[in-house]
Amino acid sequence: DGGITQSPKYLFRKEGQNVTLSCEQNLNHDAMYWYRQDPGQGLRLIYYSQIVNDFQKGDIAEGYSVSREKKESFPLTVTSAQKNPTAFYLCATRRDSRLANEKLFFGSGTQLSVL
Amino acid sequence: GNSVTQMEGPVTLSEEAFLTINCTYTATGYPSLFWYVQYPGEGLQLLLKATKADDKGSNKGFEATYRKETTSFHLEKGSVQVSDSAVYFCALSDPGQNFVFGPGTRLSVLP
């Protein structure tokens, strides 16, 4: 079954702790993205990667880090420097980011809360 | 830069009512336009898209027409159902650039 798998569905972070959110895709898409969604708000871009071993900061990258060692995987680490991490995190992929008509595919999200 | 503006929500309708959610955009190039839907606790799903002026996207009874002269892409449905209750996002994409999303409009349909 093709798609995007985000895990875990729910995650709790203690003060001063780093946590990693997983995003795996078997769509063979080149581009991958991480978005943050706060309650009742729109989507804000954290990081994106258009190709393996390369990634760029989005609009709110501070306090987050990513890696793209494999085409299928784009994990997001929420570091202790992110003081307000409680949010719904969405991973997305895109077959070819050069083409305007290529849609974004989304995972089912991870809800991160602070203990 | 590019931007998307949507009507403020929440929008509350009775079942079988007519739905319009307004969306206008600002873009420097020739973008493609999209409507995504998000059900509670889930990711976004593509509802419909249009890639050039005067194109009409449609899916599941929803429609939107790409109007270049008014820079708009309003979402419409003739008769909403309770199951249409969700958050709707208008978005645009220019070649080689990331998606730009509107803030979302929450729709609640009452039986």
What mean pLDDT do residues B61-79 have?
97
Chain B residues touching residue A33 (CB < 8 angstroms)? 98
- Asked if residue A51 has pLDDT above 90, the reply is yes
The larger pLDDT score, comparing residue B110 to residue B29, is at: B110
CA distance A92 to B44: 9
Among the partner residues B96, B99, B106, nearest to A104 by beta-carbon distance: B99
- Asked if residue B40 has pLDDT above 70, the reply is yes
Predicted confidence at residue A85, as pLDDT, reads: 94
- Asked if residue B13 has pLDDT above 90, the reply is yes
Q: How far is A79 from chain B (nearest CA, A)?
A: 23
Q: Over chain B, what is the mean pLDDT?
A: 95
What mean pLDDT do residues A70-90 have?
95
Q: Which of residues 60-99 of B touch A (CB under 8 A)?
A: 89, 93-99
Quickly state the pLDDT bin for B11 (edges 50, 70, 90).
very high
Predicted confidence at residue A56, as pLDDT, reads: 97
CA-nearest residue to B43 within chain A is A108
Quickly state the pLDDT bin for A2 (edges 50, 70, 90).
low
Tokens at B28, concatenated: 């420097």
Among the partner residues B31, B94, B103, nearest to A41 by beta-carbon distance: B103
CA-nearest residue to A96 within chain B is B96
Residue B1 forms contact with A (CB below 8 Å): no
Residue B7 forms contact with A (CB below 8 Å): no
Q: Over chain A, what is the mean pLDDT?
A: 94
- Asked if residue B9 has pLDDT above 90, the reply is no
Partner-chain contact A58 B98, CB within 8 Å: yes
Please give the interface size between A and B, counted as residue pairs whose CB atoms are below 8 Å apart: 59
Pick the closest to residue A18 from A88, A73, A75 (CA basis).
Answer: A75
Quickly state the pLDDT bin for A1 (edges 50, 70, 90).
low
* Residue B33: how many other CB atoms lie within 10 Å: 29
Pick the closest to residue A19 from A66, A107, A78, A81 (CA basis).
Answer: A78
Predicted confidence at residue A38, as pLDDT, reads: 92
pLDDT tens, residue by residue, A91-112: 999 998 888 889 999 999 999 9
Exposure class string for A55-73: b at 16+ Cβ within 10 A, else e? beebeebeebbbebeebbe
Chain B residues touching residue A105 (CB < 8 angstroms)? 46
Predicted confidence at residue B30, as pLDDT, reads: 85
Predicted confidence at residue A39, as pLDDT, reads: 85
- Asked if residue B92 has pLDDT above 90, the reply is yes
Q: How far is CA B52 from the centre of its chain?
A: 16
Residue B28 forms contact with A (CB below 8 Å): no
For chain A, percent of residues with pLDDT exceeding 70: 98
CA distance A75 to A104: 18
